[in-house]
Structure 1
Amino acid sequence: MSDLLKIICLVIFSNLAAETQAQEEIRSPKKIESLLRKTNSEVVDACIKLVIRDTLADRDFGGFSAVIVSSNGTILTAAHSVNPNHRYRVEFPNGQKGVAVASGKIALSDEKQQFDLAMLKMEGKGPWPFVKMADSRNLVVGEGCLAISYPGSFFQTKPNLRFGRITQLDAGDGFLESTCKMEPGDSGGGLFDLQGKLIGIRDKVQLSEDENFDIPVNLFRRYWSALQKPINYRRLPIADTLTPVPASKRFTVTPPAHFSQLGLKFPDQVITLHSLKGNVQQQILATAINLDQKDRTSVLWLSKSSMLGEQPWMIYNGVKIQLNVISRDPENDLVLLSPADRVNNFKGIKTGKIKYKPIITNNLGKFLYSPVDSEDCKLGIVSTIEIQLPLLFSRAQLGALVFEEAGKMMVKDIARTYPADQLLKIGDQIISINGKAIPNEKVYQQEMSRLLMGDHLTLGVIRNHKTSTVDLDFKERTTRDITLNYKGKRSLRSDGFQKVFVQDAAIRSDECGGPVFDSDGNFMGINIARHSRTATIILPLDMIKKSIVKMLDSTKS
C-alpha cells in the first residue's frame, strides 16, 4: 500500500471513529461525582501555577495556570501570559517548586480563528507528572468537563475545580465554549473530559458566567513542532499533520436545571430577610436552625451580618414578621436572629446533632445544593478543601496618601477613581475618623485598618483653616472589567475568614446566608460570601457551631 493511500485510509478511519464513538448520558449525581474525583486524582499533579518574578524588585507580580503534557516536562499554556526565553517559577499542588523556560508563542488572529498558544519546558531532569491529550475532534456538545486552575482572586497553593458541560464545539473563532467558570489567573489551565484527558486550555470569558472559552488541545498538537522553537511568531507557522487519537466513550451530562431540581428534595430551611441600611433596603437569605435545647425550642435564624441592617423582617405565609437581632459575630460575618412572633412549620436544622467532618481532597467534585427559595436551588461542586481566606478585597480603600507632618496628618496624594478623589484635596488635614481624634500616623493607620467595604466613614477635615466633616459609605467601585461585572457581584465582605471552603455555584451576593447541602442531604454550611466570578465561599459547620456558642454567650454576659 502506498504512503498516500495509507494517509487517506487513516483520515477515513479517524473520521469514522469520531462519528461512531459511543455516548452515554449521565443523569446520576453519584456517577458524575465519581468521575470528577477520579479525573481530579489522575491529573491534578500536572496542573501547575506559573509565577512571574521581578528579580530586580525581588517580588512576584503575577501568576497564571498551565498543564504539563509529557514526562520530560513539556508545558502548555495561553500565549498572552508568557514571552519566549523567559523563565518562570513553577509551583506544584504538592508544594514542590521548579523552573520552566518559555519556548514558542503564537498570538495571532485570522478571519476564522484566534491563536493564543504557548509552550514551555521544565528545567532539570524528569520524569514529571503529566496528563494525556485527547483528540478534540471527538468532542460532543453536552459533554461533561472539569476545569482545574489557579484563579487570581485566591492566593493558594492548590488549584480550584469547576464542573460544567460543553455548549459549543466552535464558538465562531475556533474556541470551545463551556459552562466551566473562569476568571483572571485561570488562563492556561486545563479543561478535561470525564475520562481525565486534556481537551482544552483556559483562555477567555464573556459577560455571562456560562460563557467561558478554551483553546482546543488539537491546536497545540497541530503546531507542536513550531512551538518547540523559542519564537514569538508574527505569522502562522507551518502546521504538523495531526495524528488521530482513538475515539473513546463520551460522557454527556444533562443540563444544570435537571440537577438543580434534585436539590429541592432537601429540607426547605431558607427564607428572605429584609432590612434598612441607611435609607437603602437590604435583602439577604437566612438559614433556619434549631438548637434543640429544652429552654429554647423555637427556630432561630442565621444570616450574613454585613448584609443585614436595622429593623429586620421577613414575609411568611403572607404575613410580615419582625425579627430581633440576638447577637452579631463580625469575625465570621454571622448574625443570629429570633422572630418576634412564633413561626410554625420551620423545623430548623439541628446543628448540635450533626457531626462535623472536615472537607478533604476526597470531597472535591462532590455536588452541593443551595436552595435560594422554595422553588429554586442552585448547583455547584466542592472546589477546594478548607482554606484560610485573609482580609484583602474586603478592606476599605480610601485612596489617600496621608503622612504625619509637624504633628499633623496631612493628605499628600490622592488616587483617581477612589473615594478620596471626590471628597479630599491635597493639603487637607485629617483630624478625626468616625469621631475619634487622630493625633498621629499610628492612630490613623489603626482606625483605617478597622474599616471594611460597606462601612460608613466620617472624616474630620481642616481645609483652608476651616473645619468640616465629610461622609462616605465604602462601596464597590464601578469597572468595565467583564470578569468583575458578573450577575450579583462580589459581596462587600468577601474574605477575612479563618476557615471556609469554596463552591463554583453562581450565588448572587444577595443570595448568601442560605444553607448548603451535599448530594446525601447533609448540611455542609452556609454561603457566607460571593468571592469572585468563579467562587462562592461556604462557612463550614464547625465554624457555625462555634459562632453560635459565642453569640449566645455574649447575650448572657
Structure 2
Amino acid sequence: MRIFSKTACLLLFFSHLAVETPAQQEIRSAKKIESLLRKTSSEVADACIKLVIRDTVADRDFGGFSGVIVSSDGTILTAAHSVQPNHRYRVEFPDGQKGIATALGKIALDAENKQFDLAMLKMEGKGSWPFVMMADNRALILGEGCLAISYPGSFFQTKPNLRFGRLTNLDAGDGLIESTCKMEPGDSGGALFDLQGKLIGIRDKIQVNEDENFDIPVNLFRQYWSALQKPVNYRRLPAAEPLPPVMENKRFTVASPAHFSQFGLKFTNQVTTLHSTKGNAQQQIQATEISMEQKGRQQILWLSKSSMLGEQPWMMYNGAKIQLNVISRDPDNDLVLLSAPDSINNFHGLKLGKVKYKPLSPVDLGRFLYSPISPEDCKTGIISTGEIKLPLLFSRAQLGALVFEEAGKMMVKDIAQNYPAEQVLKIGDQIISINGKVIPNEQVYQQEMNGLVMGDHLTLGIIRNHKTSIVDLDFKERPTRDIAQRYKGKRSLRSDGFEKVFVQDAAIRSDECGGPVFDRNGNFMGINIARHSRTATIILPLDVIQKSIAKMMDSAKS
C-alpha cells in the first residue's frame, strides 16, 4: 500500500465531501444485502483491530477493546473510556500480526448536549497500515443498513465478529447515533460501517434492550481532529474545526427484519417444543425434527439441547401430551437424542444422513440465517464468524468454596458470598464424596469439580461436627446488575465448551435453542445450541451433529 503524507491523508479523509442530494434505495433482497456485507467486510476487516491492555508488572493481559485504523500512517479511532493518553497498547490484527500503538488525545465529557467519548491512537513505527475511509454522518438516513466489526469480550478470538443492523436514530438526543447492530463489552471503540464500506461510527454504549446500541458519529472525530492528535485528556471541550460540505450521493435503506423472516416460516414444521421438569422447575426448549433410516424404514427422532432437558420430556401432539424417550446424550456437544411412540405420524424430519457438510469459508461471513421458532415466528441473523473452538469458560460451574487437603482430608477453609457453597456448606466441613465418588485427595477433588458445568446437579458427602450427611445443590444462574447480561434472551447456562461451532447475531432466547438453522437457499446449517452473549448465538455445524447422532445411536445399541 502507498505511503501518504499527513496532508495527503487529510485530503483523502475529506475529498469525498461535496454538495449533492442523497439518493435513497431500499434493499428488500437478502441476496443483495449479503453481497454488500461480503464486499464491505472483505474491504475493511483488515483495519479493524483489537487493542490489548497489558500489565507489564504482573506480565499479563487484563483487558481488551476494539479500534479501527483510518489512515495509512496508522491513526486509530476508538472510545475514550478505554484509553489513557501516552499509554501504550498492543495491537492485534485479524491476520495474526501484532504491533504497538500509543494513545494520543482523549475527550470524555458531556458538553453542548452531547456525550463526547473520543480517543485517538497512533501506530508506532513506520509502515503502510490497512485503513478505512470515513463517511459523513450528515448524509445518513433512517433505516439505512449498517455492519459492525469488532471484538466482543465474551470471545477470545483473533478475528472479529460481524453484526448486521439498521440505523434507528440519527441523533439519540445526546449526539450519538443508534442502531440495531448489537454490542457488548469489548466492542467499545470498534467500527460501524454503512453498506458502501465507509466508517460511520465508533461503538460506544448499550441499553438493556438488545436493539438499543449507540455509536459515536465519525463527524465528531473530524471536528476535533487536531485536538485529538495531542496527548491530552481534555477536561473541557477544545475548539472544533468546521466540517466541509456534504458529498454523499447513494444511500441504502434495508427492509425490516419482519420482511426477511417470512422466508424462514416455511421451516417451522421442523421445530418442536419440548417440556420437562429439572429439579423443581418446569422448563421448555426447542428441538429439531430429524428422519433416520432404521431397519429399512424411516424413524422420526428429535435432537435438542441436553442441559435444558430433564429425564421425562414430553411434547404436545394433536392436543395430547406425548411422552418422549431419551435415546442417548452427548455431553461434549450438549445434545440429546429422543424418540416418540410408534403411533406418532405425520412428521417428516430432516434427512441429515443425505446432507453433505460444507465447511465455512471467509465468503460465508454475512450470509443470512433463518431460525424458525414457531408457526408465527422466525428470527433472522447473519453468520458472524467462521468455525471456531469455544473453550469452557463462562459455563464452568463455580462452587465458591476454598477447599484444601489437610492431613489427608479435604477441608472447607473459606466460602465466597453469593455462590452455591453458601447454601449448603460451612467452614470446617470435610468433603468426602462428589456425586457418589469418594474424594481421597485434592487431585481427585479438582478433577471432579472441573468436570461440572452450569446446570449440573451436585451431591456432596460431608462430615460436619463428626456427623456424616448428604447435601445437594444445582448450579444456577447468579443474579447480576451488569447491563450487558440483562438482555431478554439470557445466556444459556451451558454456553461454551465446544470443539467446533460458529456464531450468528440473531437474538435467540436461551429457551429457544435446540432448533434448526437454515440459509436463504433452504440449506440446513446446524442447530442453535446456546445463547452465548448479548451479541451471539452459537450454532453446532452439520458435521458435528452428524457425528454426534452416530455416536449416540451406537451408544444406545450397546
TM-score range for the pair, normalised by the shorter chain length: over 0.9
What whole-Å deviation, never above 9, does each CA across 1:467-500 have from its counterpart, x for those lacking one? 3333210001000111001112111110111100
Partner of 2:435: 434
Q: What is the identity, as a one-letter code, of the residue corresponding to 1:257?
A: A
Amino acid at match of 2:360: I
Match of 1:304 in 2: 305
Out of 336-345 and 275-284, give the one that drifted further. 336-345
Q: Residue 456 of structure 2 aligns to which amino acid in structure 1?
A: D
Deviation at 1:106, TM superposition (A): 0.6
Q: What is the Cα deviation at residue 413 of structure 1? A: 2.3
SS in 1 for 2:483: coil
Deviations 1:350-406 (A, max 9, x none): 111111001111100000000001221000000000001111111100111111122
Q: Which moved more, 1:442-451 or 1:286-295?
A: 286-295
Q: Could you say which residue in structure 2 is the equivalent of 1:8?
A: none
Aligned to 1:122: 123
Match of 1:283 in 2: 284
2:277 partner amino acid: L
Deviation at 1:15, TM superposition (A): 9.1
Say which SS state the counterpart of residue 537 (structure 1) adopts: strand
Structure 1 vs Structure 2: percent identity of aligned residues? Answer: 80
Bigger mean CA offset, 135-144 vs 344-353: 344-353
Partner residue of 2:517? Answer: 516
**Partners in 2 of 1:78 and 1:371 — Cα distance?**
37
For residues 259 and 294 of structure 1, what CA distance do their matches in structure 2 show? 40
Would the aligned equivalents of 2:193 and 2:200 in 1 still touch at CA under 8 Å? yes
User: Cα offset for 1:14?
Assistant: 7.4
Residue aligning to 1:323? 324
Take 2:454 and 2:282, find their aligned partners in 1: how far apart are those partners? 17
Partner of 1:30: 31
Cα distance in 2 for partners of 1:245, 1:159 equals 31
State the shift of 1:344 in Å: 2.6
Residue 372 of structure 1: aligned partner: 373
In structure 2, how many angstroms separate the alpha carbons of the residues matched to 1:501 and 1:393?
17
Matching of residue 213 in structure 1 with residue 217 in structure 2: no
Structure 1 portions without partners, runs of 5+: 1-12
CA contact (8 A) 1:321 1:341 kept: no
The change in CA–CA distance for 1:111 and 1:316 in structure 2 (over 3 A counts) is farther
Pairwise CA distance, 1:331: 0.7
Q: What do residues 239-270 of structure 1 show as CA deviations (whole Å, max 9, x unaligned)?
A: 11213352131100011111111211346200
> Could you tell me which residue of structure 1 aligns to residue 136 of structure 2?
135
Contact 1:134 1:245 in 2 (8 A): no
- Give distance in 1, aligned partners of 2:297 and 2:483: 48
- Match for 1:278: what amino acid? G
CA distance in 2, matches of 1:147, 1:244: 26
| 2:256 counterpart letter in structure 1 | P
Q: Give the secondary structure class of the aligned counterpart of 2:499.
A: strand
SS in 2 for 1:290: strand
What is the match of residue 22 of structure 2? 21
Offset of residue 41 of structure 1? 0.3
In structure 2, C-alpha distance between the alignment counterparts of 1:58 and 1:317, rounded to whole Å: 62
396-405 or 410-419: which moved more?
410-419
Counterpart amino acid of 1:379? T
AA partner of residue 372 (structure 1): I
What TM-score do the two structures reach when normalised by structure 2?
0.95
CA shift, 1:532, in A, is 0.5
SS at structure 2 position matched to 1:483: helix
Distance 1:14 1:86, change over 3 A: closer
Q: 1:320 to 1:341 in 2, by over 3 A?
A: farther
Measure the CA separation in 1 of the matches of 2:369 and 2:387.
Answer: 15
Q: 1:433 to 1:125 in 2, by over 3 A?
A: same
- 8 Å Cα contact 2:102-2:124 kept in structure 1: yes
Hey, what does 1:348 align to over in structure 2?
349
Partner of 1:187: 188
Distance 1:309 1:465 in 2: 35
Q: Larger deviation: 167-176 or 267-276?
A: 267-276
Measure the CA separation in 2 of the matches of 1:198 and 1:244.
18
1:20-59, Cα deviation, whole Å (9 max, x unpaired)? 2100000000000000000000000000000011111111
Write the letter of the residue equivalent to 1:198: L
**1:111 shift after superposition:** 5.4
Amino acid at match of 1:127: S
User: Does the 8 Å CA contact 2:268/2:374 hold for their aligned counterparts?
Assistant: no
Deviates more, 1:202-211 or 1:105-114: 105-114
Equivalent residue, structure 2, for 1:413: 414
In structure 2, how many angstroms separate the alpha carbons of the residues matched to 1:365 and 1:474? 36
Aligned to 2:147: 146
Secondary structure of 2:172's counterpart equals coil
Q: Mean Cα displacement is larger for which, 256-265 or 39-48?
A: 256-265
Distance in structure 2 (CA, Å) of the matches to 1:181 and 1:14: 29
Which string of whole-angstrom CA distances, capped at 9 and with x for unpartnered residues, describes residues 486-539 of structure 1?
112111110111100000000000100000000111000000000000000000
Query: Which residue of the partner structure matches residue 483 of structure 2?
Result: 482
Q: Is the contact between residue 17 and residue 244 of structure 2 (CA under 8 Å) also seen in structure 1?
A: no
Does the 8 A contact of 2:48 with 2:69 survive in 1? Answer: yes
C-alpha distance 296-554 of structure 1, shift in aligned 2 (>3 A): farther
> In the aligned structure 2, how far is the partner of 1:298 from the partner of 1:177?
49
The residue identity in structure 2 corresponding to 1:66 is G
Provide the rounded CA distance (Å) in 1 between the counterparts of 2:294 and 2:434: 43
Contact 1:360-1:385 at 8 Å conserved across structures:
yes
Counterparts of 1:101 and 1:541, CA distance in 2: 44
**Counterpart residue identity of residue 498, structure 2:** F
Residue-by-residue CA offset, 1:391-426 (whole Å, 9 max, x unaligned): 111110011111112222122222222122333333
SS at match of 1:479: coil
Q: Classify the secondary structure of the residue corresponding to 2:72.
A: coil
Give the C-alpha shift of residue 440 in structure 1: 1.1
The 5 Å alignment of 1:70-469 reads 70-110=71-111, 112-266=113-267, 268-469=269-470
Where 2:337 maps in the other structure, the secondary structure is strand
Query: Hey, what's the Cα distance between the residues in 2 that align with 1:330 and 1:234?
Result: 54
C-alpha contact 1:298 1:342 (8 A) present in aligned 2: no
3-state SS, counterpart of residue 298 of structure 1:
strand
